Protein backbone atom coordinates (compact mmCIF):
# COMPACT_ATOMS: atom_id res chain seq x y z
CA UNK A 1 0.00 0.00 0.00
CA UNK A 2 2.71 2.42 1.01
CA UNK A 3 4.63 1.44 -2.10
CA UNK A 4 1.70 2.08 -4.35
CA UNK A 5 1.27 5.53 -2.85
CA UNK A 6 4.90 6.28 -3.47
CA UNK A 7 4.55 5.28 -7.11
CA UNK A 8 1.47 7.46 -7.58
CA UNK A 9 3.32 10.32 -5.94
CA UNK A 10 6.35 9.79 -8.15
CA UNK A 11 4.16 9.71 -11.24
CA UNK A 12 2.45 12.91 -10.22
CA UNK A 13 5.86 14.47 -9.68
CA UNK A 14 7.07 13.45 -13.13
CA UNK A 15 3.93 14.86 -14.75
CA UNK A 16 4.43 18.06 -12.82
CA UNK A 17 8.02 18.30 -13.99
CA UNK A 18 7.19 17.85 -17.64
CA UNK A 19 4.39 20.38 -17.43
CA UNK A 20 6.02 23.08 -15.39
CA UNK A 21 9.39 24.58 -15.92
CA UNK A 22 10.60 27.08 -13.41
CA UNK A 23 12.50 30.08 -14.57
CA UNK A 24 13.86 32.93 -12.54
CA UNK A 25 13.26 36.31 -14.04
CA UNK A 26 14.68 39.66 -13.01
CA UNK A 27 15.48 39.87 -9.32
CA UNK A 28 16.28 36.52 -7.84
CA UNK A 29 13.65 36.70 -5.09
CA UNK A 30 10.83 36.46 -7.62
CA UNK A 31 10.10 33.14 -9.27
CA UNK A 32 8.04 32.92 -12.41
CA UNK A 33 6.46 29.52 -12.91
CA UNK A 34 5.74 28.78 -16.53
CA UNK A 35 3.59 26.19 -18.23
CA UNK A 36 2.35 25.65 -21.74
CA UNK A 37 -1.14 24.53 -22.59
CA UNK A 38 -2.33 24.14 -26.17
CA UNK A 39 0.70 26.08 -27.28
CA UNK A 40 -0.08 29.04 -25.04
CA UNK A 41 2.21 30.26 -22.31
CA UNK A 42 0.80 30.71 -18.81
CA UNK A 43 2.63 31.98 -15.77
CA UNK A 44 2.30 32.37 -12.04
CA UNK A 45 4.44 34.88 -10.17
CA UNK A 46 3.27 34.26 -6.64
CA UNK A 47 1.30 36.76 -4.61
CA UNK A 48 1.39 39.65 -7.05
CA UNK A 49 0.30 37.75 -10.15
CA UNK A 50 -1.10 34.43 -9.11
CA UNK A 51 -3.09 31.73 -10.85
CA UNK A 52 -1.77 30.74 -14.29
CA UNK A 53 -2.52 33.69 -16.46
CA UNK A 54 -0.98 34.76 -19.78
CA UNK A 55 -0.61 38.22 -18.28
CA UNK A 56 1.53 36.94 -15.42
CA UNK A 57 4.28 36.12 -17.93
CA UNK A 58 4.97 39.83 -18.32
CA UNK A 59 6.47 42.35 -15.95
CA UNK A 60 4.29 43.00 -12.92
CA UNK A 61 3.57 46.45 -11.55
CA UNK A 62 6.26 46.32 -8.85
CA UNK A 63 8.82 45.73 -11.61
CA UNK A 64 8.28 49.21 -13.02
CA UNK A 65 6.36 51.22 -10.43
CA UNK A 66 7.93 51.60 -7.02
CA UNK A 67 7.33 53.40 -3.74
CA UNK A 68 9.32 56.51 -4.71
CA UNK A 69 7.26 56.87 -7.88
CA UNK A 70 4.00 56.62 -5.96
CA UNK A 71 5.35 59.25 -3.55
CA UNK A 72 6.30 61.51 -6.50
CA UNK A 73 2.88 61.28 -8.08
CA UNK A 74 0.98 61.98 -4.88
CA UNK A 75 3.47 64.17 -3.09
CA UNK A 76 1.01 66.43 -1.24
CA UNK A 77 -1.47 63.84 -0.05
CA UNK A 78 -0.18 63.80 3.53
CA UNK A 79 0.26 67.52 3.91
CA UNK A 80 -1.63 68.91 6.93
CA UNK A 81 -4.37 70.51 4.83
CA UNK A 82 -5.16 67.30 2.91
CA UNK A 83 -8.38 65.47 3.76
CA UNK A 84 -7.21 61.87 3.99
CA UNK A 85 -3.87 62.22 5.74
CA UNK A 86 -2.21 58.87 6.36
CA UNK A 87 -4.84 56.93 4.45
CA UNK A 88 -3.39 56.20 1.01
CA UNK A 89 -0.12 54.38 0.48
CA UNK A 90 1.87 52.40 -2.07
CA UNK A 91 1.44 49.14 -0.26
CA UNK A 92 -2.37 49.34 -0.48
CA UNK A 93 -2.14 50.11 -4.17
CA UNK A 94 -0.01 47.06 -4.90
CA UNK A 95 -2.06 44.80 -2.62
CA UNK A 96 -5.20 45.91 -4.46
CA UNK A 97 -3.60 45.48 -7.89
CA UNK A 98 -2.55 41.92 -7.16
CA UNK A 99 -6.07 40.59 -7.76
CA UNK A 100 -6.34 42.42 -11.09
CA UNK A 101 -2.87 41.84 -12.53
CA UNK A 102 -3.75 38.27 -13.61
CA UNK A 103 -6.62 39.87 -15.57
CA UNK A 104 -4.22 42.20 -17.35
CA UNK A 105 -4.22 45.31 -15.16
CA UNK A 106 -0.80 46.87 -15.73
CA UNK A 107 0.39 43.59 -17.24
CA UNK A 108 -0.93 43.95 -20.79
CA UNK A 109 1.02 45.24 -23.70
CA UNK A 110 3.90 44.96 -26.00
CA UNK A 111 6.44 46.58 -23.73
CA UNK A 112 7.15 48.08 -20.33
CA UNK A 113 6.36 51.61 -21.52
CA UNK A 114 2.89 50.55 -22.52
CA UNK A 115 2.29 48.84 -19.18
CA UNK A 116 3.41 52.00 -17.37
CA UNK A 117 1.03 54.02 -19.50
CA UNK A 118 -1.96 52.05 -18.27
CA UNK A 119 -0.95 52.74 -14.69
CA UNK A 120 -0.51 56.43 -15.51
CA UNK A 121 -3.93 56.45 -17.18
CA UNK A 122 -5.67 54.71 -14.29
CA UNK A 123 -3.93 56.95 -11.76
CA UNK A 124 -4.73 59.99 -13.92
CA UNK A 125 -8.39 59.29 -13.28
CA UNK A 126 -7.67 58.63 -9.61
CA UNK A 127 -5.58 61.78 -9.14
CA UNK A 128 -8.11 64.00 -10.83
CA UNK A 129 -11.09 62.57 -8.95
CA UNK A 130 -9.42 62.82 -5.54
CA UNK A 131 -7.58 66.11 -5.96
CA UNK A 132 -7.97 69.18 -3.77
CA UNK A 133 -5.49 71.20 -5.81
CA UNK A 134 -7.87 73.66 -7.41
CA UNK A 135 -6.66 77.18 -7.81
CA UNK A 136 -3.16 77.95 -6.71
CA UNK A 137 -1.81 75.31 -4.39
CA UNK A 138 1.69 74.51 -3.17
CA UNK A 139 3.47 72.23 -5.60
CA UNK A 140 1.02 73.07 -8.38
CA UNK A 141 -2.56 71.93 -8.84
CA UNK A 142 -1.55 68.48 -10.12
CA UNK A 143 0.42 67.47 -7.02
CA UNK A 144 -2.70 67.04 -4.90
CA UNK A 145 -4.12 63.70 -6.04
CA UNK A 146 -5.35 61.37 -3.28
CA UNK A 147 -6.23 64.37 -1.12
CA UNK A 148 -9.69 62.93 -0.44
CA UNK A 149 -11.02 59.45 0.17
CA UNK A 150 -14.70 60.41 0.24
CA UNK A 151 -17.13 63.11 -0.81
CA UNK A 152 -17.05 65.92 1.75
CA UNK A 153 -20.57 67.35 1.82
CA UNK A 154 -22.91 64.87 0.18
CA UNK A 155 -26.22 66.45 -0.74
CA UNK A 156 -28.10 63.15 -0.63
CA UNK A 157 -27.71 59.47 0.30
CA UNK A 158 -27.57 58.22 -3.34
CA UNK A 159 -30.20 55.55 -2.83
CA UNK A 160 -31.97 54.60 -6.05
CA UNK A 161 -35.16 52.64 -5.32
CA UNK A 162 -35.28 51.30 -8.85
CA UNK A 163 -32.75 48.71 -7.65
CA UNK A 164 -34.64 47.77 -4.48
CA UNK A 165 -34.81 44.10 -5.50
CA UNK A 166 -31.20 43.63 -6.58
CA UNK A 167 -29.34 46.15 -4.46
CA UNK A 168 -31.69 47.37 -1.71
CA UNK A 169 -30.44 50.28 0.34
CA UNK A 170 -29.64 49.41 3.92
CA UNK A 171 -31.47 51.72 6.33
CA UNK A 172 -29.06 54.31 7.60
CA UNK A 173 -26.38 53.56 5.00
CA UNK A 174 -25.25 56.38 2.73
CA UNK A 175 -23.91 55.69 -0.73
CA UNK A 176 -22.06 58.94 -1.37
CA UNK A 177 -18.80 59.05 -3.29
CA UNK A 178 -15.98 57.04 -1.79
CA UNK A 179 -12.72 55.58 -3.00
CA UNK A 180 -9.94 56.20 -5.50
CA UNK A 181 -12.30 56.60 -8.45
CA UNK A 182 -15.25 57.42 -6.25
CA UNK A 183 -18.27 55.17 -6.55
CA UNK A 184 -21.75 56.51 -5.89
CA UNK A 185 -25.21 54.91 -5.53
CA UNK A 186 -26.43 51.71 -3.93
CA UNK A 187 -26.25 49.75 -7.20
CA UNK A 188 -22.59 50.55 -7.72
CA UNK A 189 -21.73 49.64 -4.12
CA UNK A 190 -23.79 46.49 -4.54
CA UNK A 191 -22.07 45.42 -7.74
CA UNK A 192 -18.58 46.28 -6.50
CA UNK A 193 -19.22 44.44 -3.24
CA UNK A 194 -20.37 41.36 -5.12
CA UNK A 195 -17.24 41.35 -7.26
CA UNK A 196 -14.87 42.00 -4.36
CA UNK A 197 -16.74 39.68 -1.97
CA UNK A 198 -17.23 42.38 0.63
CA UNK A 199 -20.64 43.43 1.92
CA UNK A 200 -20.55 47.02 0.72
CA UNK A 201 -24.31 47.36 0.56
CA UNK A 202 -24.51 47.09 4.35
CA UNK A 203 -21.11 48.70 4.89
CA UNK A 204 -20.31 51.32 2.27
CA UNK A 205 -18.11 52.98 4.90
CA UNK A 206 -15.55 50.18 4.54
CA UNK A 207 -14.26 51.96 1.45
CA UNK A 208 -13.24 55.04 3.41
CA UNK A 209 -11.70 52.91 6.15
CA UNK A 210 -9.52 50.63 4.03
CA UNK A 211 -7.22 51.96 1.30
CA UNK A 212 -6.75 48.54 -0.29
CA UNK A 213 -10.48 48.22 -0.71
CA UNK A 214 -10.71 51.82 -1.94
CA UNK A 215 -8.17 51.05 -4.67
CA UNK A 216 -9.82 47.71 -5.44
CA UNK A 217 -13.20 49.33 -6.02
CA UNK A 218 -11.55 51.75 -8.46
CA UNK A 219 -9.67 48.97 -10.26
CA UNK A 220 -12.85 46.95 -10.46
CA UNK A 221 -14.52 49.92 -12.14
CA UNK A 222 -11.56 50.28 -14.54
CA UNK A 223 -11.50 46.59 -15.45
CA UNK A 224 -15.25 46.00 -15.90
CA UNK A 225 -17.86 47.55 -18.19
CA UNK A 226 -20.53 49.68 -16.57
CA UNK A 227 -23.07 48.35 -19.08
CA UNK A 228 -22.93 45.00 -20.82
CA UNK A 229 -23.00 46.60 -24.24
CA UNK A 230 -19.96 48.73 -23.47
CA UNK A 231 -16.25 48.02 -23.15
CA UNK A 232 -14.33 48.48 -19.92
CA UNK A 233 -11.96 51.41 -19.60
CA UNK A 234 -9.13 48.85 -19.49
CA UNK A 235 -10.22 47.23 -22.76
CA UNK A 236 -10.42 50.62 -24.41
CA UNK A 237 -7.02 51.70 -23.19
CA UNK A 238 -5.04 48.57 -24.03
CA UNK A 239 -6.65 48.17 -27.45
CA UNK A 240 -8.86 45.13 -26.80
CA UNK A 241 -11.91 47.13 -27.80
CA UNK A 242 -12.76 47.33 -31.50
CA UNK A 243 -15.02 50.30 -32.24
CA UNK A 244 -18.19 49.61 -34.23
CA UNK A 245 -19.28 51.74 -37.19
CA UNK A 246 -21.42 53.77 -34.82
CA UNK A 247 -18.49 54.32 -32.48
CA UNK A 248 -16.34 55.56 -35.33
CA UNK A 249 -19.11 57.79 -36.65
CA UNK A 250 -19.55 59.26 -33.19
CA UNK A 251 -15.77 59.78 -32.85
CA UNK A 252 -15.23 57.22 -30.10
CA UNK A 253 -11.75 55.95 -30.84
CA UNK A 254 -9.48 53.69 -28.77
CA UNK A 255 -7.38 55.74 -26.35
CA UNK A 256 -7.44 57.70 -23.13
CA UNK A 257 -10.30 59.94 -24.33
CA UNK A 258 -12.72 57.05 -24.58
CA UNK A 259 -11.85 55.84 -21.08
CA UNK A 260 -13.24 59.15 -19.80
CA UNK A 261 -16.26 58.69 -22.02
CA UNK A 262 -17.10 55.21 -20.79
CA UNK A 263 -16.57 56.14 -17.13
CA UNK A 264 -18.26 59.54 -16.98
CA UNK A 265 -20.29 59.94 -20.17
CA UNK A 266 -21.77 63.34 -20.80
CA UNK A 267 -20.62 64.80 -17.50
CA UNK A 268 -17.14 65.06 -19.05
CA UNK A 269 -17.33 64.24 -22.76
CA UNK A 270 -18.97 65.66 -25.86
CA UNK A 271 -18.86 69.22 -24.59
CA UNK A 272 -15.74 70.53 -26.23
CA UNK A 273 -12.74 71.68 -24.31
CA UNK A 274 -14.19 71.80 -20.78
CA UNK A 275 -12.34 71.91 -17.44
CA UNK A 276 -13.87 68.65 -16.21
CA UNK A 277 -12.17 66.87 -19.10
CA UNK A 278 -8.95 68.86 -19.21
CA UNK A 279 -8.33 68.24 -15.52
CA UNK A 280 -8.31 64.46 -16.01
CA UNK A 281 -6.12 64.70 -19.10
CA UNK A 282 -3.68 67.00 -17.28
CA UNK A 283 -3.24 64.50 -14.46
CA UNK A 284 -2.55 61.70 -16.93
CA UNK A 285 0.07 63.74 -18.80
CA UNK A 286 1.68 64.92 -15.57
CA UNK A 287 2.03 61.33 -14.39
CA UNK A 288 3.47 60.21 -17.73
CA UNK A 289 6.16 62.85 -17.28
CA UNK A 290 6.87 61.94 -13.65
CA UNK A 291 7.17 58.27 -14.53
CA UNK A 292 9.73 59.09 -17.17
CA UNK A 293 7.49 57.87 -20.00
CA UNK A 294 6.93 61.39 -21.26
CA UNK A 295 3.67 63.01 -22.30
CA UNK A 296 4.58 62.82 -25.98
CA UNK A 297 3.81 59.07 -25.77
CA UNK A 298 0.15 59.88 -25.12
CA UNK A 299 -0.49 60.40 -28.82
CA UNK A 300 -2.58 62.94 -30.72
CA UNK A 301 -5.34 65.11 -29.29
CA UNK A 302 -8.24 63.15 -30.81
CA UNK A 303 -7.19 59.99 -28.96
CA UNK A 304 -6.34 61.75 -25.73
CA UNK A 305 -9.52 63.79 -25.28
CA UNK A 306 -13.27 63.24 -25.70
CA UNK A 307 -14.61 66.76 -26.22
CA UNK A 308 -15.79 65.90 -29.71
CA UNK A 309 -17.04 62.39 -28.90
CA UNK A 310 -20.69 61.50 -28.55
CA UNK A 311 -21.06 60.13 -25.02
CA UNK A 312 -21.37 56.37 -24.52
CA UNK A 313 -23.66 57.03 -21.65
CA UNK A 314 -25.91 59.97 -22.36
CA UNK A 315 -28.07 61.07 -19.45
CA UNK A 316 -27.47 57.97 -17.37
CA UNK A 317 -25.93 57.95 -13.96
CA UNK A 318 -22.41 56.71 -14.39
CA UNK A 319 -20.12 55.27 -11.75
CA UNK A 320 -18.67 58.55 -10.73
CA UNK A 321 -19.46 62.18 -11.21
C1 LIG B 1 3.69 40.24 -22.66
O2 LIG B 1 4.83 40.87 -23.20
C3 LIG B 1 5.21 40.37 -24.44
C4 LIG B 1 6.48 41.06 -24.83
O5 LIG B 1 7.37 41.08 -23.79
C6 LIG B 1 4.12 40.63 -25.45
O7 LIG B 1 4.48 40.08 -26.69
C8 LIG B 1 2.84 40.01 -24.98
O9 LIG B 1 1.80 40.43 -25.83
C10 LIG B 1 2.52 40.40 -23.58
N11 LIG B 1 1.46 39.58 -23.13
C12 LIG B 1 0.29 40.05 -22.79
C13 LIG B 1 -0.69 39.05 -22.36
O14 LIG B 1 0.03 41.22 -22.83
C1 LIG C 1 6.17 50.47 -26.70
O2 LIG C 1 4.85 50.41 -27.17
C3 LIG C 1 4.29 51.67 -27.47
C4 LIG C 1 2.83 51.48 -27.76
O5 LIG C 1 2.59 50.48 -28.68
C6 LIG C 1 5.07 52.29 -28.61
O7 LIG C 1 4.54 53.57 -28.94
C8 LIG C 1 6.52 52.45 -28.19
O9 LIG C 1 7.30 52.95 -29.26
C10 LIG C 1 7.09 51.15 -27.70
N11 LIG C 1 8.38 51.43 -27.08
C12 LIG C 1 9.44 50.67 -27.25
C13 LIG C 1 10.67 51.09 -26.53
O14 LIG C 1 9.41 49.69 -27.97
C1 LIG D 1 -8.94 45.78 3.72
O2 LIG D 1 -9.51 45.22 2.56
C3 LIG D 1 -8.77 44.14 2.02
C4 LIG D 1 -9.39 43.77 0.69
O5 LIG D 1 -10.74 43.43 0.82
C6 LIG D 1 -8.75 42.99 3.03
O7 LIG D 1 -7.99 41.93 2.51
C8 LIG D 1 -8.14 43.50 4.33
O9 LIG D 1 -8.20 42.49 5.29
C10 LIG D 1 -8.86 44.74 4.82
N11 LIG D 1 -8.14 45.28 5.97
C12 LIG D 1 -8.73 45.50 7.14
C13 LIG D 1 -7.86 46.09 8.21
O14 LIG D 1 -9.90 45.25 7.31
C1 LIG E 1 -26.21 52.98 -34.34
O2 LIG E 1 -26.78 54.26 -34.21
C3 LIG E 1 -28.13 54.34 -34.66
C4 LIG E 1 -28.56 55.80 -34.59
O5 LIG E 1 -28.20 56.41 -33.39
C6 LIG E 1 -28.99 53.42 -33.79
O7 LIG E 1 -30.33 53.46 -34.20
C8 LIG E 1 -28.45 51.99 -33.91
O9 LIG E 1 -29.16 51.13 -33.03
C10 LIG E 1 -26.97 51.95 -33.54
N11 LIG E 1 -26.45 50.63 -33.80
C12 LIG E 1 -25.79 49.96 -32.88
C13 LIG E 1 -25.32 48.61 -33.32
O14 LIG E 1 -25.57 50.37 -31.76
The per-residue pLDDT for range 101-126, each reduced to its tens digit, is 999 999 999 899 999 999 999 999 99
33 and 62 share a domain? yes
The reply to whether 96 falls in a domain is yes
Count of the separate structural domains present in the chain = 2
In the listed set 193, 211, 229, which residue is the last one of a domain according to the structure? 211
Q: Is residue 46, in this structure, part of any structural domain at all?
A: yes
Q: Which ligand is nearest to the CA of 234?
A: 1
Centre of ligand 1 from the C-alpha of residue 111, in Å = 7
Q: State which of 93, 109, 144 marks the end of a domain.
A: 144
For residues 142-180, one letter each, b for 16 or more C-beta atoms within 10 angstroms of the residue's C-beta and e for the rest, the string is: bbbbbbbbbbeeeeeebbbeebeeebebbeebbbbbbbb
Could you say which residues of the chain have pLDDT below 70? 1-29, 136, 313-321
Same domain? 20 vs 62: yes
Give the ligand 4 atom nearest the CA of 244: 13
- Ligand 1 centroid to 115 CA: how many Å? 10
Pocket test for ligand 2, best of 59, 64, 108, 113 (most atoms within 8 A of CB): 113
Minimum CA distance residue for ligand 3 atom 2: 213
Judgement on whether residues 138 and 7 belong to the same structural domain of the protein: yes
How much distance in Å is there from the Cα of 109 to the middle of ligand 2? 9
Cβ atoms of residues 177 and 183 within 8 Å: yes
Q: How far apart are CA 212 and CA 180, in angstroms?
A: 10
- Asked if residue 153 and residue 77 are part of one domain, the reply reads no
For residue 13, what pLDDT is reported? 42
State which residues form the domain around 198: 149-211
Residue 296 domain-assigned (yes or no):
no
114 lines ligand 2 (CB under 6 A): yes
Does 15 share its domain with 107? yes
Residue 94 lies in a domain: yes
Give the number of the ligand closest to the Cα of residue 297: 2
34 and 69 inside one domain:
yes
Same domain, 138 and 161: no
Burial class (CB in 10 A: 0-12, 13-18, 19+), 136: exposed
In a domain? residue 245: no
- Indicate if 15 and 87 belong to the same structural domain: yes
pLDDT at position 27, please? 52
Co-location of 133 and 66 in the same domain: yes
Best of 88, 213, 217, 220 for a ligand 3 pocket test (most atoms within 8 Å of beta carbon): 213
For residue 222, being part of any structural domain is answered with: no
Q: For 141-162, what is each residue's pLDDT tens digit?
A: 999 999 999 999 888 899 998 9
Query: Which amino acids bring their CB within 6 angstroms of ligand 1?
Result: 54-55, 57-58, 108-110
Among residues 211, 234, 261, which one ends one of the domains? Answer: 211
Whole-prediction pTM: 0.89
In a domain, 269, yes or no: no
- CA 245 to centroid of ligand 4, rounded, Å: 9
Distance 140 CA to ligand 2 centre (A): 30
Indicate whether residue 229 lines ligand 4 (CB < 6 A): no
Residue nearest to atom 11 of ligand 3 (CA): 210
Residues 169, 74 share a domain: no
Is 194 within a domain? yes
What does the pLDDT read at residue 20? 44
Ligand 3: atom nearest CA of 196 is 5
Ligand showing the shortest atom-to-Cα distance for residue 117: 2
Burial of 3 (0-12, 13-18, 19+ CB in 10 A): exposed
CB 251 within 8 A of CB 307: no
**With a 6 A CB cut-off, is 197 part of the ligand 2 pocket?**
no
Same domain for 126 and 13: yes
CATH number of the domain to which 198 belongs: 3.30.20.10
Q: Which mutation among 227, 246, 250 tests ligand 4's pocket best, with the greatest number of atoms within 8 A of CB?
A: 246
pLDDT of residue 9: 43
Is there a single domain that holds both residue 200 and residue 113?
Answer: no
| Number of the ligand closest to the Cα of 108 | 1
Q: Is the CB of 28 under 6 A from ligand 4?
A: no
Amino acid sequence: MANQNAIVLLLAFVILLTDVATTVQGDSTKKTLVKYKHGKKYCDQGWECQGWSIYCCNLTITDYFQTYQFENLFSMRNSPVAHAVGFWDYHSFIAAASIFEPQGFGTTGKNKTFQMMEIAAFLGHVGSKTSCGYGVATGGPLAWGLCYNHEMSPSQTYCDDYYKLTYPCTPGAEYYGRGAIPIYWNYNYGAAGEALKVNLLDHPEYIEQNATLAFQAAMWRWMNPIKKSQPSAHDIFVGNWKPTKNDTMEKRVPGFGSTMNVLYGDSVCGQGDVDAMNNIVSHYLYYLDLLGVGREQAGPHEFLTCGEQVPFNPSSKSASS
